[in-house]
Chains A and B, each alone.
Chain A
Amino acid sequence: MFLAKKMLLRVFIVFLLFASFITVKAVYDPSNQKTNLQPVSLVYNIVEPTESELLYETANFTYSFRESRDTITIYDKRNDYTWTTGTDLEFSAEIANECEEIVESYEDQFSNVDFSTFTDFTNSTDPLLTDIEFYGTNFMLKALINDVDENFTKDSVLLQTSLVTLTNGTQYQLSFEAYGLSSRNIEVQVGSVYTEEITVTNELAEYTMTFTMSDPTANVTVDFLLGYFAADAISNTTLYFDNIELNEYDGVDVVDGTNQIQGDFELDPLTLETTQEDVLDVCRDREVRLNTTYTGFANSLVTIEYFDSASNIKRISSASRFDAESLLYADEDDESHFILDIDFKDADIEVLLNIYFDDEGIRYEILDEDVTGDGILDLAAIIISPFLGASGGAYESFDITEMDYLDEEHFKYKVPGYSLVPDGSGSLIQFNDNTVDLNEFNASVYGFDPGQADHYLQESAGYVPFKTASMPVFGMAHEDVQAAFVAFATSGDEFMQIISMPEENLTYYNFTYPRFEYNKQYYQVYNKSGAGYLTFYDDRNHYDIEMRYNFLSGDGTTGYSGDYVGMAHSYRDYLVSQDLLQMTTNGYNDIPIRLDFLMSDVEKGITGFNNQVTTTSSQVDQILSMIMDNGITNINSGLLGWNDGGITLGDPRDTDFIRQIGKQSEFEELIRTYQSKGVDISFNQDYYRILEEMMTLRNNASKNTSTWYSRLETFDYPVSMFYFARPVKSIEWLQDQANTFDSMGVASYSISGITNNLTSDYSTDMLRDESRDVLVAGFDNLNKDVLINAYQPNMYLWEYTDRYLQTPVYGTQYLIETDTVPFIQLVLQNTMELYGPYANFSFYTDSDILRMIDYNIYPSFVLTHEPAYLLTDTLSRTYYSTEYNLYFDLINHVYENVNGALNNVVNANWINRSFIDDGIVLNEYDNNVMIIINYTDESYMYSGVSVEPVSYAVIGG
């Protein structure tokens, strides 16, 4: 490898000024619930002067690098927008040091000027007093008085003017300014004519005294007696004098031009070596709320987090001031490939970052073997370009009169825009100027890992569980449809977190970044009573990090638009190109509907558990035929709790059909009958959560890193302690059950649990990446002729998913999240059927129906034959309203409405979604259909079409 500078005999390009002047209307969904917009018109200049060396150029981009701060500058030729991977800031501490130095040298010019410079004045002190000094400083005369005590007299310390000539009988006024570090008495004498004792306070004040000359001698000195006064008064202090004047006085005012003392201690400005301009040059504006570590973090391309000796997490960034060194190399064989070699000296960790440039953006790669060093076990995490796209910041300025930085904070121009985070369906975090310190958004990709949790026992939270990030994607947009990037991990995503910091949380910036975890503290329990200690993993996590950043621009007329729609499409196309997703074409005209049946669940009986049956196989037949008679025919159904033990205790290892619910032959008959009518009926099974009441834990349950079985306590009844199946077991059971289902002639499998949970299993030291491989291989082995209905599947299972069940329609609703957007739906539309959450439960109102249309998802319901109150004593009591005869009308109402809109676009591509007015969404499809959704309670006119309140209109097609 060669030094970049040697290897690259390329032109040094100085990007002097990229000035783009853009007017954009920021329009999107401002409230996660209200879906109406805030029309704000914003005008901004982007002026980005950067000095860096060109690394690589493509048709769309030029990539350059600033060695000193480890920042890559990405100049997008399509829209003249410049992105930098860091904030490109000077260290405030460095500015402070330099500034301090120059201020000192500036002020030094005024301090400690020898007293002899002031020709009009002399001093005399008692020879026993050795620590008395007089000198000029900062435009004043300074008297340092020490060691004065009762052994001395008032005149032991004396400041004296040279002789002045006064006219006998004339009135004079003596005036001077003075202050002391503490208040102190002094005595002023004019020859033998006038004496006054005054108190100099610690605030600068002017002292005046008038007298009439009565001594014929004419020549007198003015004496300031600064010696010992009284036992109870302060003697030793520092006194300052200035503007000592002696003027003739006419009884009202001083007579001009009669001053006889040069008591103005100002130095000649021309003699200054350091001027105020020099000071201002050095004391530049400096960033506030970013200390040295944080500035390094903000500039950096790579930051590591490591545990110090006290097990606290600390950060070192590649652009650190002292703690790290980095060097950029180029790959001889590939001119688009560069390697940043970073030595995090303080942590004894070395990292090689591979950087690949192409015409869509940048790809970073950190290979497992390239993370080395003696401190490797302390490595907590690696963070990549945390401040790419950061918005905000504030600085403070130097004030020349105060000779210091003022506390006043000046806010930088805050680029309007948002971060997209994969929270639920997708959420936007607009760059707001917050008034309070709110928590960050922090999501582990693919959700929580019980295997690497800090404790083997988790307790269920008392609130709606936070939505998980089911894909390793985030993005940022500056302005709407202007400039944006989408970032996604293509390796290492199992250990990835996506973090978005709001303004006012530590810094004045909004920024969003990926964090890859290598080690963590956990609680090692060693006895049954729960005693234990905190410790780390024996070995760090091993995996390669691969992150892609694609830069988007414009409104989508060419390429991907610079908003979340473009991000979704860009990511979707990447997945398709990698065969992780396939576009599909459906053979139906009317949209499908999902009707699940809750067949049974268990309640505690007098001995053991009883099956509480709410729907039998023949009742499924009865209900389905009634619904089909009503005109809805494109149906697929999942059966919940079809097994002995119902939903809760139905054993995934078994297909234990019982007479109460339906015998195997009855189910076979049901499946066959409805297959001929085009209705797919499948068995739903959770292969993830297991209970001791269901099976022995040994060999079946996965273990936490502490080697205890991972578990979740729900404080519920009739059962409350859940364990998690080992991934290998889940797949084994899935395969077994699938074989039985195959023999029964099913057209699809309905799988939950393992679809949206990914646990590591320490019974065989299997980490999440391996678990994922096991799951993917298991899904790959399933009968390819059978469809897969998956409950909220994670990204790596999308390849196999035909129907996405319970598609999220909201985010977690962090206060910093400003909008909920159908990001997941935009990614997955037309690659699989997306079904909404059960409309039974608070998702049945007209605006919910609009949301289904807006988000391009199909309705789903869960039904029982018997009243839901039978489930009171089962865990399924959360299905509080399911009785089929209550739902006939609602099913029809919801289906008709959603189908009325979405059957126009069954095989069309959803190309854009935008807000055209408060609460008015316009969805555009590539078959020229537009659907206008009016969430408001007033009708809306759009190109001649009136859209009724809380309704929709389909245009074109």
Chain B
Amino acid sequence: MIRFKKVIVVVLLMILSTISLVEVDASSATTYTTARNRKGFFVITQDAYLPETTVLDLGLDSPEDIFIDELDHIFIADTSNQRVVVYDPSTNTIIEEISYPEFISPKGVFITQDNELYVADSTAEAVFRFDADHNFVAKYTKPDSASFDAKTFNPRRIAVDNQGTMYVIAEGVFDGIIQLSSSGEFQGFFSTNTVNLTTRQQLENLLFTDTQLAQVVDRNPVSFSNVYVDQKGIKYSTSIGLGISNLKKHNTDGSSSIDTDFGFDWGMVDVYTDQYGIMYVAGAAGYINIFTSDGQFIFAFGTDESEQDVSGFYSQLTSIAVDSVGRIWTLDQDNAFLQSYTPTDYSQTIYQALALYKAGKYDEAVVLWEEVLKLNQLSVLAHNEMGRNLFSEGRYAESMEHFILSGNRQLYSQAYWEVRNVNLQRSLPVFIAGFFAFLIGYFVIKGTNRKYHYLDPVKKRIKKVTEIRIINDVLYMFNLLKHPLDSFYYIKKKEKGSYKGATIIFALFFISYMTYVTSKGFIYQSVEAADLDLNGIIIGFFAIAFLFVFANYLVTSINDGEGSLGEIFKGLSYSLLPIMVAMLITTYLSYKLTYTEVIILQLTMYVGYAWSGLLIFLAVQELHNYTIRETIKSFLLTFLFMMIVGLLFAFIQIMGDQLIQFVIGLVKEAFRNVFS
């Protein structure tokens, strides 16, 4: 399973392209189905569901919850009418009204496998249980166990597992989901949400006195909004609040087996599952989000527009359920209506294909995913799943293409490892043979040349070229590797190297740096080149380099440093060879190595950095004629100076903007006063 990285930027829930030249909304959908693309943005995809019926005329009043039984009858907690309504969509009629004298505000309904009906009534402070014929069986009130220390018991949602254990969401209880035995005894909190403190709150905890802490707002954990038990007895829950996984599929110990943390609040209010284990989640704002049974986001549809009365729009979406043919039923509390959606081929095919993968029928799944890709060639989910199926089938090379399109670097790396392995096995003997052939050839030529000197004209030619001043200046950087101190001494004495040479080296470094930043292999190029802020990178690159030279010059010139501005630049440039080479090697290797060999790339870069760093250090020492101690001091001062300059620029930018705004405002105001 791939996990999307948390999107750090403010993710707009729906990224839309409603302006495209020709609209592509040909269906009866009123909202877009959106999926995430390989960069984590939400993009429009083929419609997954189409709004079907809006049932407006059931005479409901602030209904809060729905549940669908095995006959596809919809049980509606008609809260303000103090009843539970059973609605049959096939005949569009209410077939039963369940009222019980003690109902005050029935808010949650649940039907068990045995067709028993449970009703959570917050004002009556009880859970009511009815048999399959809807005769009253039992009433469960506030547990008298000492460990249940909540003052009140106002159940608003309920789910019951096959053993009759009840899971209750109660108003004002922040400790978690209340677990009651089938006889109504308190068994503890099934699951709890932890309090996630913001940085500010953590700081407050650190600094505030107890009195002060008592005054700040309660730090209750994010509250559970709903609970659900599927046919197999697996418990699910939803929560509303920021910063946590708001959809949970619970292990038996109450912990969550999935992670759907997107870094923002979906406002989830209800969850339901179907035969495939697909999770359907209603968001209070009016979105319906659908996840695989592993908690992987598939797609969402809906809108947060609540002012318009258009089918597919909600005033207040409060509950969701799915019937046996995959239709989604939703409930709006404010406008008291049921809205159904009929699935399209697109969504149905996706669900089936997901199920086939789980069942290990990879070849069949591949066929279905091909269908999905036909309908939506941009589907990241489909490409990713296609890749996984192909991978499982051992079709690694094919799967790699799909992993590129879905942006799944992890699995791409694994697939590539397999492919490379095969290639290596095939080509290793050839490679080794070639290597030895080269060695032999080298020594033969070397040996014979000593005797016959047939390479002399070539050597002479090379020597001639290297003696050209500018080329010689550039190539001088190789000397630095062997005799750094001497070489810098000659640079200082202007016997070797030159400004031109240094500039060319610096330019070469820039090119290799840009290559390294933008052109690594798919696995290692985590941000695509086009998405990089190149202006920032380029400006930053030059700014830091020149600031270093400048700062170092200023710092050393008042500390008896002998080097001039130009010499420092030269020293810096001539020290860059190791890092330059490291970057190029890394860039090259990033195409050949998988994640498992990441250490090689890191090592290369470390060596490059360390070596170049050392050279720069020596350059400064030699150019200014410093001792090691003085050199270290000068470096520290240089960095301090650089930081100060950086801060200064930031200030100027912020204040300057305001100053300009102020002047513009002043002028405009004057104009208005004079001319109007």
Contact = CB atoms under 8 A, between A and B. Distances in A.
A880 B373 CA distance: 9
Contacts of A805: 22
Given A647-B20, A814-B310, A880-B379, A527 B26 contact: no
Interface string B399-417: 0000001000000000000
B24 interface: yes
A437 B664 CA distance: 49
Interface in B31-54: 31-32, 37-38, 41, 43-47, 50-54
Interface stretch (A102-110, A669-677, A836-844): A836-844
Given A461-B18, A714-B17, A33 B50 contact: yes
A877 B27 contact: no
A877 B345 CA distance: 21
Contact of A34 (B25, B53, B56): B53
A462 B304 contact: yes
Contacts of A816: 309
Interface stretch (B528-536, B559-567, B637-645): B528-536
A607 B23 contact: no
A436 B303 contact: no
B26 A838 contact: yes
A640 B337 contact: no
B661 interface: yes
B581 interface: no
Given A842-B344, A843-B27, A879-B24, A886 B374 contact: yes
A439 B20 contact: no
A70 interface: no
B676 to A, nearest CB: 11
A121 interface: no
Contacts of B23: 465, 806, 837
Nearest to A713: B19
B214 interface: no
Given A439-B307, A877-B378, A33 B59 contact: no
Contacts of B50: 33, 842
Give the secondary structure class of B's interface. Answer: loop
Contacts of A882: 377
Contact of B12 (A527, A605, A715, A878): A715
Contact of A869 (B29, B44, B374, B377): B377
A886 B46 CA distance: 15
B441 interface: no
B19 A722 contact: yes
A753 B29 CA distance: 23
Given A461-B18, A714-B18, A841-B24, A872 B378 contact: yes
A721 to B, nearest CB: 10
Contacts of B349: none
B305 A463 contact: yes
A883 interface: yes
Contacts of B312: 463, 813
Majority secondary structure of chain A interface residues (helix, strand, loop or mixed): loop
A886 B377 CA distance: 10
Interface string B96-121: 00000000000000000000000000
A498 to B, nearest CB: 16
A9 interface: no
Interface in A791-808: 791, 805-806
Interface string B585-609: 0000000000000000000000000
Given A34-B53, A460-B19, A872-B37, A842 B46 contact: yes
Nearest to B345: A845
Interface string A523-538: 0001111000000000
A604 B39 CA distance: 14
A32 interface: yes
B363 to A, nearest CB: 21
A881 interface: yes
A855 to B, nearest CB: 12
What is the size category of the interface that chain A forms with chain B? 35 or more
Contacts of A34: 52-53
Interface in B330-375: 335-337, 344-346, 374-375
B308 interface: yes
Contacts of A716: 15-17, 19
A128 B13 CA distance: 82
B30 A464 contact: yes
B466 interface: no
Contacts of A806: 22-23
A838 B15 contact: no
A640 B23 CA distance: 13
Interface in B636-669: 661, 664-665, 668
Contacts of B12: 715
A462 B376 contact: no
A815 B305 contact: no
Nearest to B48: A842
B449 interface: no
Contact of A684 (B21, B378, B383): B21
Nearest to B378: A880
A878 B668 contact: no
Contacts of A871: 378
A813 B377 contact: no
A813 B51 contact: yes
Nearest to B14: A462
A880 B44 contact: yes
B253 interface: no
B22 A881 contact: no
Interface in A604-648: 604-607, 610, 640, 647
A812 interface: yes
Given A528-B664, A841-B26, A878-B44, A439 B19 contact: no
B22 A438 contact: no
A881 B372 CA distance: 10
Contacts of A836: 26
Contact of B335 (A436, A684, A848): A436
A810 interface: yes
Given A712-B19, A868-B378, A603 B530 contact: yes
B200 interface: no
Given A460-B16, A463-B30, A752 B21 contact: yes
B113 to A, nearest CB: 31
Contacts of A62: none
B672 to A, nearest CB: 7
B377 A867 contact: yes
A878 B23 CA distance: 9
Contacts of A463: 30-32, 303, 305, 312-313
Given A722-B19, A841-B25, A869-B378, A436 B661 contact: no
A848 B47 CA distance: 14
A829 interface: no
A465 B18 contact: yes
Interface string B512-537: 00000010000000000111101000
B59 A435 contact: yes
Contacts of A712: 19
Given A439-B307, A872-B37, A880-B44, A464 B378 contact: no
A33 B52 contact: yes
A809 B335 CA distance: 27
Given A837-B24, A842-B29, A843-B27, 11 more contacts: A435-B56, A435-B336, A463-B32, A463-B313, A684-B21, A716-B16, A717-B41, A813-B28, A814-B311, A837-B25, A838-B26
Lowest 7 A-B CB distances belong to which pairs? A837-B26, A843-B26, A842-B27, A868-B377, A463-B303, A841-B24, A880-B378
Interface of B: 12-32, 37-38, 41, 43-47, 50-54, 56-57, 59, 303-305, 307-313, 335-337, 344-346, 374-379, 383, 405, 518, 529-532, 534, 661, 664-665, 668, 672
20 contacts: A32-B28, A33-B28, A463-B31, A527-B664, A527-B665, A603-B530, A604-B530, A605-B530, A610-B530, A715-B12, A717-B15, A722-B19, A812-B310, A814-B310, A841-B26, A842-B46, A872-B38, A878-B24, A878-B44, A881-B374
